[in-house]
Structure 1
C-alpha cells in the first residue's frame, strides 16, 4: 500500500483511513484528524476520541502512526451511541473562575470552542468551515453537532450531545495522562531531548513504535475517600484538582472525573464526577427560587433513579434528613408527585404532555413551615402559566421519603434521623446557580 512501511502509515494515509473506518459512526468525524489543527503529530501523539495515538518518525524523517492503533480508536468510537436530543450546555458561562489548566495539554476543548464562537462572526465562520481555523477536536467534527439556543431576552447558549461531551472530556484526560507519563520518563532519563519528541524507527525493515497508550493507567474507582468532608475546606487544598482527575466519575463510572460535586445546602462534598454528569444533575434555574423541569429528570427520577439517589445521599445532611436539597426536591415534586396532574394533548402517536413544567418556591428549607412549592405549566394552550398544585415543603419531603422507600430501599435504609450528631448546627442557605453557570472546577 502506498505510504505504508511494515505497519506504519503516513499521516495522509491515516487521515483517509480514519474517515473510512468511522463512516458509519454515530459521532461524525472530520478529515485531517492527523494533519489539521489542533492535531500536531510532531509532539509525539495525536488524539482520536478517547485515545492518545503515539506517532513515530521513520528513518526518512517522515512522521507516521501505527495502523493498528487507528483501527482500535475507530472501533471504540464506532461503539459509542449518541442521543442528539440529550444535550449539555457548554457555554458561555458568566462569572466563572478560571479552571486550573495544564499548559502542556493543549486540547482544552471548551476553551477552544468558546474562543471561536464568541469572536465576531464565529458561528457563521464555523458553518463555512474556515480553512484557517480548527476543524475538529480529537478527530470529532463538533461543528456538525453544535446546537445554538436563545431564550427570550437572554444571550445565546451553545450545546453538544452528552455522548460527545464525555468523549472530549475523556480525550482531554488521556492527553493529560500521556504528557504526565512522558514527563516522568524524561525525568528518569528514559526520554532525552524536548518533551514527547517522536522516536525514530532505525530502518524501514524493523518496526519501531512508541506505545504511550495503556502505560498511563485508567482512572481509579472512587471509594468514598472524600466522604464527610466540607467542600469549602477541601477545595482550598493545593493540588486537589490533580487528585480529582485521578478518579473515575462516581456516577457513570466510565468517564474521568473533572469536578467535585457538592451539596449547596449543607456544604458537604458528594463525590468527584465528570462534567457530563455534573451538568445532568444541576437544576435548571430560571431565577434563584424558580426552576424549569427539563427532560433529563426522566433519568434522574425514573430510569437511573437508584444511582442518583445514592449519589445525592452522599451528603451527610441530606442523608440524615432523608430528603434532597430544595431545588432537587422541588424538581422531584413537579416531575414525580404531580405527574398525574399535568394536562396532555392529542398527538399523532397518542397523547403528549403539554407545555413546560416549572416549579417555584417561597421561603427556604430552613423555615419549612413557611416554604411552599408551586408547580405550574408554562406555554399550555389551555392557559399559560397554569398552576397545577401548591405543595407545602413538609408535605413534599414526606412524599419523597415514602417514594424513596419504595424506589430505593437500600438508600432509604442508610438514611434516617439517627445520624444528626456530626451535622453543622446551622445549615447553610441554598446557594442558587441563577444562570445555570456552575461549570467551574472549584
Structure 2
C-alpha cells in the first residue's frame, strides 16, 4: 500500500481505521486467513495482537493510534508463514476442560475461546460476539469432523495452531512486563534494592522486552516423569524453554515416553500433538499422512527426540505405537498397491492401518499386522504381518542410514538403571488425552 493512500496519519501513528485498511492491504495475499476490522472491532486496552506480534496503542486526540511501522512489521511476519490445510491439529472439544469466560481484550486460553464461540447460538447479537484472535479469521480454515451421531471434533491447520500458541505466549509476556513496569513506577525507590521489574527494564517504551526463552540442552535427561510432574513450579520452569523439537515456539508441556516413563523434553502444544495418529485404540492405529513429515522430511529431528528416552535409546527402538507406524509407513511402503486416478497418474491405495497382538512386554508373541482400509476396488486387505523382533531389527537397520548420529548414540551398552520391564502401552480411545505420544 503506497504512503499517499494512508489516511489518518499523525507522525508515525495512524488511526485505527487507517490501521485496518493497511492491515487488509498488506495481508490480502497471505496464506493465513486474516480478519477484517482487527483494530476497530476490538476494545483497546493499550495494545492489539497481529499474529504473534504485539502492537502498542497510543492515545491521540481523544482516540487511539498505532505505530504504522509495527503494523507493517507484523504483516511481513504473517505473510512469511506457510500453511498446509491438510496438516490438521485437533483443538476441541476435550472433556473435563472447563471453559474460561472471555476476559475482554485477553487472548489467553485461545482453545477455550474458540470452543466458547462455537457453542454460542447463531442469533447472538453482533455486538456481543468476541473479536478475532490475533488478527486471524480462524473460522475460514476450521474443519469440523463428525464421528457417529452428534459427536464432533474441531481441527485447525498446524501453522494456525502454532501462531495462536505464539500469540498467547507473546500476550502473556506483554502483560507481565507491563505489570512489572507499573509496579516499579509505583514502588518507592530504595537505595539498597532493585525490583524485578526494574532489572528487566526495556529500551523500547512502546514494546516492553519479553523474557528471553532459553534452548533446551538436556537439563531433564534421565528424569522420570512420574516424579518430576509432582514437583511444584514445574509448569513455570517448562515455559522458560523453547520447544525442543521445532525450536521456535515456547514450550508448554513435558513430553515423555509412556513405555519407560522417562521425560523426553519440553515441547509446544503443536509438536506434542504432531506425532499423534488420526485414530488410536488399544492395539490399532490409523497411519495418517503426517507420518511423511515424521519419518521422511524431519526424520532426524524426531528420531533424536524419541531417543531422548534412555529406554528407547538403549534398546535402539521406538515405543510400540511409533514402531508400528514406522513399519506401516516405511517398511511396508513397497507393498502398498496403487490405483490410477485419472490424469493424476497412480496414487497409493486406501488408508494404512496397523494393529498388533500382544505387547512390547512379550516381544516373542507380539505381531504387527499392516492393513489397507477403504480400497476403491475392495480387493486389498492385509499387506504384511511382521513379528515385533523383526520390526525392531528392521528399524535398527533403517536408523543407521536415516539418522546415523542417532544410531551411533544408541546401543545395548546403555542398559544400566533401565526398568526391568517396560510399562504397557496406555490406550487412549477417546482422543481427550494428548500426552500419549
TM-score, scaled relative to structure 2: 0.88
Distance in 1 (CA, whole Å) between partners of 2:414 and 2:284 is 31
Counterpart residue number, 1:45: 47
What does the per-residue CA deviation read over 1:207-257, in whole Å, with 9 as the maximum and x for residues that have no partner?
A: xx84225x1144221111111111112222222222212211111111111
Counterpart Cα distance in 2 of 1:368 and 1:341: 24
C-alpha separation in 2, matches of 1:97 and 1:372: 40
* Alpha-carbon contact 1:18-1:70 (below 8 Å) kept: yes
Residue 199 of structure 1 is matched in structure 2 by: none
Instruction: Give the one of 12, 17, 25 matched to 1:20.
Output: 25
Out of 292, 297, 300, the residue aligned to residue 298 of structure 1 is: 292
Deviates more, 1:228-237 or 1:353-362: 228-237
| 2:167 is the alignment partner of 1:171 | yes
User: Is residue 181 of structure 1 aligned with residue 184 of structure 2?
Assistant: no
Moved more, 143-152 or 291-300: 143-152
Deviations 1:339-385 (A, max 9, x none): 11111101222210111100011111001111111110111133377
User: CA contact under 8 A between 2:107 and 2:133: conserved in structure 1?
Assistant: no
User: Alpha-carbon deviations, 1:117-172, whole Å to 9, x = none?
Assistant: 23455xxx79xx95531241100110111111123457211111111111101000
Q: Name the structure 1 match of 2:200.
A: none
Moved over 6 A (4+): 101-104
Q: Residue 193 of structure 2 aligns with which residue?
A: none
Partners of 2:314 and 2:391 in 1: CA distance? 17
Which of 41, 48, 55 is residue 36 of structure 1 equivalent to?
Answer: 41
Q: Which structure 2 residues correspond to residues 69-218 of structure 1 after superposition, within 5 A? A: 69-95=70-96, 106-119=107-120, 130=126, 132-152=128-148, 155-189=151-185, 210-212=205-207, 215-218=209-212
* Equivalent position SS for 1:375: strand
Q: Which runs of 5+ in 1 are unaligned?
A: 193-208
Task: Name the structure 1 match of 2:201.
Answer: none
Partner in structure 1 of residue 9 of structure 2: 4
> Which residue, out of 367, 373, 376, partners 1:378?
373
Counterpart residue number, 2:403: 408
Distance 1:241 1:271, change over 3 A: same
Indicate the residue corresponding to 2:355 in structure 1.
360
Q: How does 1:314-333 map to 2 (within 5 A)?
A: 314-333=308-327
Q: Which of 102-111 and 132-141 deviates more?
A: 102-111
- The alignment of Structure 1 onto Structure 2 pairs a total of residues equal to 414
Q: 1:191 to 1:137 in 2, by over 3 A?
A: farther
Query: How much has 1:434 moved relative to structure 2?
Result: 2.0
1:62 alignment counterpart: 63
| Alignment match of 1:273 (pick from 267, 271, 278) | 267
Give 1:387's match in structure 2, choosing from 366, 382, 385: 382
User: What RMSD in Å do the two structures reach over aligned CA positions?
Assistant: 2.6
Counterparts of 1:316 and 1:143 in 2: how far apart (Å)?
Answer: 42
- Measured after TM superposition, the shift of residue 183 of structure 1 is 2.0
Report the Cα distance in structure 2 between the residues aligned to 1:92 and 1:360, rounded to whole angstroms: 27
In structure 2, distance between residues paired with 1:103 and 1:426: 51
Q: 1:233 to 1:66 in 2, by over 3 A?
A: same
| Alpha-carbon distance in structure 1 between the residues aligned to 2:344 and 2:105 | 53
Structure 1 residue 304: Cα displacement: 0.8
Specify the alignment match of 2:333 in structure 1.
339
TM-score normalised by length of structure 1: 0.87
2:392 — aligned with what? 397
Secondary structure of residue in 2 paired with 1:405: helix
- 1:249·1:273 contact (CA, 8 Å) conserved in 2? yes
For 2:25 and 2:318, the matched residues in 1 are separated by: 48
Q: 2:245 aligns with which of 224, 242, 251?
A: 251
Q: Which residue in 1 is equivalent to 2:198?
A: none
Which structure ranks higher in relative contact order (CA pairs < 8 Å, sequence separation ≥ 6)? 1
Three-state SS of the structure 2 residue aligned to 1:180 is helix
Deviation, structure 1 residue 430: 1.0
